[in-house]
Each structure stands twice: as structure tokens, then as C-alpha cells.
Amino acid sequence: MIPSEAAHTAVSLRISPSRSQFFKFESVSLSCEDQGSSAGGRVRRNTTKRWLEACPADWGVATAGSPCSIQDTFPLDTGVYWCESESGEHSHAVNITDSLERSFESVSSVVDGAVILDSPVLTVNQGQAVTLRCLHKDKEATKPSSNFPAAFYKDGSLVRTEAAGEMTIPAVSASDAGLYRCNNSELGRSPESWLAVRGEN
């Protein structure tokens, strides 16, 4: 069972880096904040292989800087993540995707860690400025770059192409909510990520 939006309470999930797509072998820190308890809560997840796994008992590790970390992300880490408080309350569920998890548009092979979309992992408020970045990381680079031309798509339709790999929405509205992805003709395309806008319903 995946927590529903209706189950949202004061407990919230924090992810660092704050995005929903990651390259293979990236490190990700997750933590829970609960206004009603100093304990915070426990991070749980559902993946395609296993359900209701708790960190660090079933996956991830506890480190000095974070109660729950994934040291090296793999495609098997793709899934739905959320926080559960001691009283059983749930945060909003967040989808985390590895760069290998993408839609197949042809018979061509999947490129290991080619392109991901850096977009807000949590719900944004209407009127807020949002920047989407198309990221690529080659084997020699220490961190991903967005300094290349990228086409941005929403719900399968082209929005626009940006020379520097970044697209900014100055003030998001309900109509901006949807599935976004980016594409570079040589490097490849990212998986899709949902941009949620508070008050979109």
C-alpha cells in the first residue's frame, strides 16, 4: 500500500540532493521531520521488488550526517519513498528514479547514467519560480553538468529548447503541473518526473 495524499500530516520527507532522479552510484541522504515529535520518524519505501521496507533495517545505512543514506544508487532503488511517524502518520510519497529506469522508445540499448532531469522533488507553491535542469555526467566528471542544449517536454509535448540546458518557469501555476523530461539529441533523454503544484486541484 502506498500512502495517499490525504494521509499528509506534519511529518515530511527531506531528500538531499533535492531531486527525484539520480545517476547510478550517486549518494542520497533522506530524513524525516515531524513537528509533533523530536524523533522525526522512519523513512520507508516501496520498490518493484519489495514493499514497506524501512531504513536502515531493510535498506540504506545510518551515518553521522543523516539517519538514512543510500551510498550508491542502483536501478533497484527506484521506487516510492515516504516518512512514517511513531504514531503511524505518513508524509507525502515521493518517487525516486534511477537514470537507468526510462521508457523504451526503440530497440536501442539504455545508456548507463546518460541524462537526468533536475526538478523539484516536493510540491511547489503557485507563484514560485521553478528551474528545471537537464543534467549529464560523464565518467571523468566529478559532478553533473547542464551546460549543453536541451529540449524540455511536458506531458509528451515540446515546451521549448534551451541552449544552456536550463528552463525557468518564473511563476508556476496549476496549469504547469505535469510530467516533465528533457532531451539532448546526442546524449539522450531523461526519465519523466512529476512537477506538483500546490493548489493544482
The tens-digit pLDDT sequence of the chain (201 residues) is 444 443 445 788 999 988 888 888 888 999 998 766 656 789 999 988 889 999 999 999 998 778 899 998 888 888 999 999 887 888 888 888 876 543 333 222 223 457 899 999 888 999 999 999 999 887 666 677 888 999 999 999 999 999 999 999 999 999 999 999 999 999 889 988 999 998 755
Residue 142: its pLDDT value, please? 66
Contacts of 187 (CB under 8 A, 6+ apart): 114, 115, 136, 148
Q: Are 115 and 21 in contact (CB under 8 A)?
A: no
Q: Is the peptide bond before 120 cis (omega within 30 degrees of 0)?
A: no
Say how many C-beta atoms besides its own lie within 10 A of residue 172's C-beta: 21
Structural domains of the chain in order of their starting residue, each with its CATH number? 5-98 (2.60.40.10), 115-198 (2.60.40.10)
Residue 41: its pLDDT value, please? 84
For the full predicted model, state whether its pTM sits above 0.95.
Answer: no
Residue 91: its pLDDT value, please? 87
- Quickly count helices (H) and strands (E) in the chain: 0, 18
Residue 200: its pLDDT value, please? 53
Task: Give the torsion sign (CA, 199, 152, 156, 28).
Answer: negative
What's the rounded Cα separation, in Å, for the pair 8 and 17? 22
Say how many C-beta atoms besides its own lie within 10 A of residue 181's C-beta: 24
What's the rounded Cα separation, in Å, for the pair 124 and 158? 22
Residue 113 identity? G
90-125 b/e (C-beta count within 10 Å ≥ 16 → b) = bbbbbbbbbbbbbeeeeeeeeeebbbbbbbbbebbe
